[in-house]
A and B are shown apart, each in its own frame.
Chain A
């Protein structure tokens, strides 16, 4: 067992973990934050995307011990004071989801993608979301949602 201390959605946690525990399992099982999903578990689909020290990463491909000292945001930490993050609002407005399984990861990846890039093009959005797979929507409404949030300066 190894003791780690990290900040998740603004709150500090100290826990003992097995070195082999994946960060996504730590977030879901040790902290009970089940908004972050596991889908492929093979680093391909992006359902497990979170922000670690300001960068979008796949939490199924990071060990919890590697995140010792890190500042993490999960989908639960994106809304502020009861107001949806512009990217969450845009997915709602544009109906950027069907089953919703890919959505937390999609929103976390997209939020970083449009940061400081209000004029992002459709091609850049599609290229920037290559690490996130959706089996339902066909991506059209996801791309529209990301463009809306970018224009809103999210």
Chain B
């Protein structure tokens, strides 16, 4: 399969990328290419030009400042999966993306800019309370994950903006990701990420996010409210997980899984994610 014709430009710095974006009309950024190239081959996208940002060094790597880890947009899933000081939910989710070859090319920035509803990182970054950092011609801005994922393949990122990095709080809370895999692609049919803190035997804060179910990753406020103030026993977690239906308006059904099946699986994966996060919260 051949992609449609396009012109190709390589940007060696963020400034060069902006210069090219200003100059070219209907261009698309190319990072790892593991969502964009398949889409081009299927002719789901046909930009007149690609701006390859894949080699911009300043967008790669993970750094740490106090209790915040900053992950450059071009950091690959393989690098995140192998990192030792990121929240467990993030490293395990990154290690379950696709397969090793996909993880060697796919990037964190591309994954969240693309915002496929079956992706893993939007769900995890929402539960972790991450912040997306982006730059446009008019300067830089940051948006919380809660406000970043808007709808199917739609984010707060503007047409003329580049996602530069993601800030992830590393604060000692217990975190975990539980995923029902699509057996062929390994994308999430249901993905649930949880972050819980425990003090004096009780849950003091909980963030739970759902993916694969709805057009974009969402929080599960009913589940979160049912966890806070309780001891994280198996029964209490199961009771909280049973509330998840109240957090799901618009559940998708497709050839991979029906709406009914996804709804039935949701509480099970909530329970798994929260239980594992609770164990890790110690």
Q: Indicate whether A42 sits within 8 Å of B38 (C-beta atoms), given known contacts A18-B5, A62-B33, A66-B33.
A: yes
Contact with A along B19-54 (1 / 0, CB 8 A): 000000000001001100110111000000010101
Query: Is A113 engaged at the interface, CB distance under 8 Å to the other chain?
Result: yes
A153-B167 Cα distance, complex, nearest whole Å: 39
Which residue in A20, A22, A42 is a CB contact (below 8 Å) of B6? A20
Cβ contact within 8 Å between B100 and A56:
yes
Query: Is A142 engaged at the interface, CB distance under 8 Å to the other chain?
Result: no
Contact with B along A17-34 (1 / 0, CB 8 A): 011101000000000000
Which residue in B4, B54, B100 is a CB contact (below 8 Å) of A112? B100
B33: A residues at CB distance < 8 A: 61-63, 66
Which residue in A2, A41, A57, A128 is a CB contact (below 8 Å) of B8? A2
Query: Is B57 engaged at the interface, CB distance under 8 Å to the other chain?
Result: no
A43: B residues at CB distance < 8 A: 34, 37-38, 102
B104: A residues at CB distance < 8 A: 55-57
A2: B residues at CB distance < 8 A: 8
B37: A residues at CB distance < 8 A: 22, 43, 61-63
B2: A residues at CB distance < 8 A: 20, 22
Cβ contact within 8 Å between A131 and B99:
yes
A41-B41 Cα distance, complex, nearest whole Å: 9
Cβ contact within 8 Å between B101 and A46:
yes
Which residue in B7, B42, B98, B101 is a CB contact (below 8 Å) of A19? B7
- Tell me the residues in window 1-18 of chain B with beta carbons closer than 8 Å to chain A beta carbons: 1-8, 10
A7: B residues at CB distance < 8 A: none
Q: In whole Å, how far is B32's beta carbon from the nearest beta carbon of chain A? A: 9
Q: Indicate whether A65 sits within 8 Å of B101 (C-beta atoms), given known contacts A20-B3, A41-B41.
A: no
Query: Is A44 engaged at the interface, CB distance under 8 Å to the other chain?
Result: yes
A57: B residues at CB distance < 8 A: 101, 104-105
Q: In whole Å, how far is A56's beta carbon from the nearest beta carbon of chain B? A: 5
- Tell me the residues in window 29-57 of chain A with beta carbons closer than 8 Å to chain B beta carbons: 41-44, 46, 49, 55-57
A63-B5 Cα distance, complex, nearest whole Å: 12
Which residue in A62, A65, A130 is a CB contact (below 8 Å) of B105? A62
Query: Is B263 engaged at the interface, CB distance under 8 Å to the other chain?
Result: no
Cβ contact within 8 Å between A109 and B101:
yes
Q: Indicate whether A128 sits within 8 Å of B100 (C-beta atoms), given known contacts A20-B3, A66-B52.
A: yes
A132: B residues at CB distance < 8 A: 99
Query: Is B185 engaged at the interface, CB distance under 8 Å to the other chain?
Result: yes
Q: Indicate whether A109 sits within 8 Å of B100 (C-beta atoms), given known contacts A19-B50, A20-B5, A61-B37.
A: yes
A68 to chain B: closest residue by CB: B10
B10: A residues at CB distance < 8 A: 65, 68
Told that A56-B101, A131-B99 touch, could you supply 20 new A-B pairs with CB distance under 8 A? Answer: A18-B5, A19-B5, A19-B50, A20-B6, A22-B2, A42-B42, A43-B102, A44-B184, A44-B185, A55-B78, A56-B104, A57-B101, A57-B104, A62-B33, A63-B8, A63-B37, A66-B52, A68-B10, A130-B100, A132-B99
CB<8 Å pairs between A and B, sample of 29: A2-B8, A18-B5, A19-B7, A22-B2, A43-B37, A43-B102, A44-B185, A46-B99, A49-B101, A55-B78, A56-B101, A56-B104, A57-B105, A58-B102, A58-B105, A61-B33, A61-B34, A61-B37, A62-B33, A62-B105, A63-B37, A65-B8, A66-B52, A112-B100, A130-B98, A130-B99, A130-B100, A130-B186, A131-B101
* 4 tightest A-B CB contacts, nearest first: A131-B99, A19-B8, A130-B99, A55-B104
